[in-house]
Amino acid sequence: MALSRSHRREETNFWPGFVDALSTMLIGIVFLLSVFVLGQFFLSQELTGKDTALERLNRQISELTDLLALERSSNRQTQESLTLLQSTLVREQGERSRIQGLLDSSASDAPAQLAQAEKALEAQKQLSERAQATVDLVNQQIVAMRRQLAALEQALAASEAKDQDSQARIAELGSRLNVALAQRVQELARYRSDFFGRMRQVLGARPDIRVVGDRFVFQSEVFFDAGQAVLKPEGRGELDKLGAIIADLGREMPPDIPWILRVDGHTDARPIRTAQLGSNWNLSTARAVSVVEYLITRGIPADRIAATGFGEFQPLDVAATDEAYSRNRRIEFKITER
């Protein structure tokens, strides 16, 4: 009889603790599902971007994968708990059968022993009912978790599909952009070649005008006196020819081609001594600005022309001779992209 009372006390202390553990586990699962719902909301908000949206999407997919793994781990733990409950239920049912047999065999014993056996049987019956109710509850929770796990897998698959679709669209847009840029570069090169051909026809073969790479190079003496940034009359005549060619070419070019005529001023390495300009930087820039301002009066749009001064720091000839100095004093014209 003492053994039977001890056994009841152990069983009575075991189940409340186990139920508390299950409740704690369920609270954790509900918390994780809440985190997942919030993650899904922010995921849907962030999918509207391109490159940065893809990074966030990949990060959220990683979080979903971790959450899915955690849910699967929790599912395994619940399955293990269910197995433990079922084995306990089997043991309790065996104990109930044993007590029932003991009760049957002890029918002729004293009334006190019969009463104790009946109490023990009732206790085991109640314990078995509680265990069965717990097993049923856990089964329901497992079914709900499986549904939630399936929803997580579907959400993950949808996110991966959206990621692949976004990457495909970005690749397509990049390809189309590259093709468009290549077409614009080819068109600009064609008009630049046309510009060179027309300039050669108009200017002819002159020693003070030559082609260097992708630029037309005029000696500064064509437009300016030594150390000055004021256009000479004969220089204006040359710019009239150049301005007419550029204006005609600009009207022919499609408006979406981002072309610009760059006017670069260069000096030789000898410092100037005029108080008005002060340095080769100022002289080269002032000359380029004078040419640009005049060409604007000849019909070149102000947003299609730019002036740049390089001083003496981009020489064509590094020799310290009068011929080298003459070559380095120049105005360059180049059609390029903005």
Q: Which 3 state secondary structure label does DSSP give 40?
A: helix
Q: Which domains does the chain have, with CATH numbers?
A: 2-177 (1.10.287), 205-337 (3.30.1330.60)
pLDDT of residue 1: 46
pLDDT band at 3 (very low <50, low <70, confident <90, very high): very low
Phi, psi (5° rounding) for residue 263? -110, 115
- Placement of tokens 């109930």 in the chain: 96
**Residue 321 above 90 pLDDT?**
yes
Round to whole Å and give the CA distance between 204 and 216: 12
Are 127 and 92 contacting, i.e. CB atoms less than 8 angstroms apart?
Answer: yes
- Tens of pLDDT, residue by residue over 117-164, are 678 777 777 777 777 777 777 788 888 878 887 888 888 888 777 777
- Tens of pLDDT, residue by residue over 237-289, are 999 998 998 888 888 888 888 889 999 999 999 998 777 888 999 999 999 99
pLDDT of residue 12: 57
Which tokens in the block code for residue 234? 């004969």
**Residue 294 above 60 pLDDT?**
yes
DSSP state, residue 217: E
Kindly give, in sequence order, each residue whose CB lies less than 8 Å from that of residue 167, ignoring residues fewer than 6 positions away. 54
Work out the angle between the directed axes of helices 280-297 and 233-252 (0-180°, nearest 10). Answer: 60
CA angle 95, 97, 101 (to 5 degrees): 115
Are 330 and 218 contacting, i.e. CB atoms less than 8 angstroms apart?
Answer: yes
For residue 316, the one-letter residue type is L
Which tokens in the block code for residue 40? 């899904």
For residue 171, the one-letter residue type is A
- 206 or 67, which is more confident: 67
Are 106 and 114 contacting, i.e. CB atoms less than 8 angstroms apart?
Answer: yes
Residue 44's H or E segment, with its range, is helix 2-46
Candidates 164, 203, 184, 324; CA nearest to 259 is: 184
Round to whole Å and give the CA distance between 217 and 232: 17
Phi, psi (5° rounding) for residue 222? -65, -35
Q: Please report how many Cα atoms fall inside a 13 Å half-sphere around the Cα of residue 260, on the Cβ side.
A: 14
- Tens of pLDDT, residue by residue over 26-75, are 888 888 877 777 777 776 666 566 667 677 777 888 888 887 788 788 77
b/e sequence 130-160, b meaning 16+ C-beta within 10 Å: ebeebbeebeebeeebeebeeebeebbeebe
Q: How far is CA 220 from the centre of its chain?
A: 50
